[in-house]
Structure 1
Amino acid sequence: MPALSRADSSALCHHRPSTGVSLGFHQQGGDSSGQCDIVPASDQSAVYGVIWEVASHHKLTLDRYEGLNAAYGETWLTVIDLAGEGQFEAQAYVGKITSMGMRPYTRYKAMC
């Protein structure tokens, strides 16, 4: 679900996380499916995606929705702007209840 549905103040920004992370589907969901997660990887790895900017007064709501400190932890990544306008720090949720070999949640396939 996009951050816009979870935090009214969110705004879409297109950027790319720095190298050193990989995309996985091994955060265990309530239905035992693999939820999307980023994990540390080699310096040659990178994850392309989108970054949502959320007003600070809505972050607590988003943290609760995402399960911060229960299902997910929080980390910060250095993000490089694809337009070459520099880099900045972005918060990311990282799975805490992980297991290898799970099948991705069906909604991920529906998004392709």
Structure 2
Amino acid sequence: MAVYDKQVASTMRVNGYRRIDTPERTVLFTFGEMIFSRNRWCKGKKTPYPVDEWLGFKKYMRYSPELLFQLVKLVSKMSYREVCRAGRHLTNLSPMRTYKSGHKNGRWRTHAR
């Protein structure tokens, strides 16, 4: 990723962008969690991250597109419960933990079950 950042730097400067900072990002891939830093560029109000665009990440995206693809593939072949079990091995989140966390933060309302 650092190599790509260096390759794209000259193109960004030619197009009128200037480098602001190098923030870190944590993303969960199929092979595990990875923390990496990437350059943020600025031109007016635009602040792109070329590495994020290259990898196909959207803003605030924590899971890689490949991981999401694999989970969708599992969903089509397994029951919901089995997919949740498999998902727990990849991440520390479970549907119930997410529900409780959201409820605690006031983001979701309790629904009758």
TM-score relative to the length of structure 1: 0.28
Bigger RCO (CA 8 Å, 6+ sep): 1
The structure whose residues are more often strand, as a share, is: 1
TM-score relative to the length of structure 2: 0.28
The structure whose residues are more often helix, as a share, is: 2
